[in-house]
């Protein structure tokens, strides 16, 4: 006879299958980290609820405001951004908005979408060197050298469009305000600025910090893990992806590719050639007047 587990034990095992500290669900009950959802609605913004889920405690007003500012800053960079353009093209193919959003979000990888996480990791390595006794300048030079040896660029700096990224200054102002109110320590603010100065000195011209570099400072100052920094950028950009996809759907345009009609991709392959000789391989006679005809 097969031994059957005690029903109480089996129920506990089932309920423990997906254990979570985040959300408690029951009949008529939704609690986020212990707080009833009905008490949070109207009191927390997107930054506040993100903080609560990620940190398990309610943010201070300054923490919520700073996190929300970073989320707002990254929502869209227009159809120049591949994640936006891909979502728009997907929408013209007749998919639903969820499919279009997923298509755009799935384009956010290490190259397009991952620089914020990489910048956070760079700042963390510099901080570790400083904690081990190096000066900030020594740590910055060492890590910039190491980064350039392997990747030839520094994540979080430089931009194809902006000589000065317009999103940086207001976020720096938010960071300085938070430091004044002692909501953050400011150590990563100084590290980020020092990296930018080092790069500009090497190039002999100003190298702008970009959205990834500045939001990396925000998320690092708030004590978030680098992988969470990437997730927050995806969250931010998904709002823009949704809006662009919806805008595109309303235009009733069909199957828009990456280039307008009349433009052709540059072909660099083999010169024109005939495949008529394949008739012999298939045991067929060459068709008169067709390529590959035998005379």
Q: Give the tens place of pLDDT for each residue, 7-39.
A: 788 888 888 898 999 999 999 999 999 999 999
Cα distance between residue 43 and residue 48, in whole Å:
9
Asked whether residue 100 is domain-assigned, the answer is: yes
Q: What is the CATH number of the domain that holds 234?
A: 1.10.230.10
- Do 147 and 179 reside in the same domain of the chain? yes
Position 295 scores a pLDDT of 38
Structure tokens at 99: 């499919």
Give the whole-number percent of the chain exceeding pLDDT 70. Answer: 94
**33: which residues sit within 8 A by CB, 6+ positions away?**
21, 22, 23, 52, 53, 56, 57
CB of 77 closer than 8 Å to CB of 84: yes
Q: Which helix (H) or strand (E) holds 36?
A: strand 35-36
Asked whether residue 247 is domain-assigned, the answer is: yes
- Between the alpha carbon of residue 189 and those of residues 14, 168, 171, 178, 220, the distances in Å are 46, 12, 11, 11, 9
Choose one of 38, 59, 80: the last residue of a domain.
Answer: 59
Asked whether residue 161 is domain-assigned, the answer is: yes
- Do 50 and 99 reside in the same domain of the chain? no
Cα distance between residue 218 and residue 184, in whole Å:
9
Residue 221 pLDDT greater than 50, yes or no: yes
- Do 47 and 176 reside in the same domain of the chain? no
Residue with tokens 């390595």, as numbered in its chain: 125
For 134-173, the pLDDT digits (tens) are 999 999 999 999 999 988 889 999 999 999 999 999 999 9
Which 8-state DSSP code applies to residue 35? Answer: E
Rounded to a whole number of angstroms, the distance between the first and last alpha carbons of the chain is 83
Residue 225: domain span: 61-258
- Would you tell me how many other CB atoms lie within 10 Å of the CB of residue 256? 17
Residue 13's φ and ψ, nearest 5 degrees, are: -65, -40
For 48-66, the pLDDT digits (tens) are 999 999 999 999 999 999 9
- Do 108 and 251 reside in the same domain of the chain? yes
Asked whether residue 273 is domain-assigned, the answer is: no
Give the whole-number percent of the chain exceeding pLDDT 90. Answer: 83
CB of 211 closer than 8 Å to CB of 74: yes
- Do 180 and 48 reside in the same domain of the chain? no
Asked whether residue 268 is domain-assigned, the answer is: no
- Position 214 confidence tier, pLDDT thresholds 50, 70, 90: very high
Cα distance between residue 282 and residue 286, in whole Å:
10
- Do 53 and 80 reside in the same domain of the chain? no
Position 293 scores a pLDDT of 45
What total number of domains does the chain contain?
2
Position 8 scores a pLDDT of 80
């Amino acid at each position: 006879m097969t031994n059957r587990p005690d029903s109480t034990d089996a129920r506990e095992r089932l309920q423990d299958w997906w254990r979570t500290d985040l959300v408690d669900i029951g009949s008529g009950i939704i609690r986020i980290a212990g707080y009833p959802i009905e008490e949070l609605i109207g009191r927390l913004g997107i930054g506040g609820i993100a903080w609560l889920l990620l940190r398990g405690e309610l943010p201070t007003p300054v923490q919520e405001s700073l996190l929300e500012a970073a989320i707002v800053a990254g929502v869209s960079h227009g159809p120049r951004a591949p994640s936006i353009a891909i979502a728009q093209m997907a929408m013209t193919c007749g998919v639903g908005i969820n499919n279009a959003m997923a298509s755009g979000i799935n384009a956010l990888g290490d190259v397009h979408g991952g620089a914020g996480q990489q910048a956070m990791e760079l700042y963390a390595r510099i901080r570790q060197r400083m904690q081990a006794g190096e000066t900030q300048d020594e740590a910055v030079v060492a890590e910039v050298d190491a980064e350039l040896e392997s990747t030839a660029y520094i994540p979080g700096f430089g931009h194809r469009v902006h000589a000065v990224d317009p999103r940086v200054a207001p976020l720096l102002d938010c960071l300085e305000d938070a430091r004044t109110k002692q909501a953050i320590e400011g150590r990563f603010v100084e590290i980020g600025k020092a990296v930018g100065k080092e790069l500009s000195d090497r190039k002999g011209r100003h190298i702008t910090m970009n959205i990834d570099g500045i939001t990396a400072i925000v998320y690092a100052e708030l004590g978030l893990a680098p992988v969470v920094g990437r997730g927050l950028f995806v969250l931010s950009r998904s709002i823009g992806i949704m809006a662009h996809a919806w805008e595109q759907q309303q235009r009733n345009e069909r199957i828009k590719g990456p280039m307008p009609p009349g433009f052709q991709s540059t072909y660099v392959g083999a010169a024109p050639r005939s495949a008529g000789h394949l008739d012999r391989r298939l045991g067929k006679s060459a068709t008169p007047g067709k390529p590959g005809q035998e005379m």
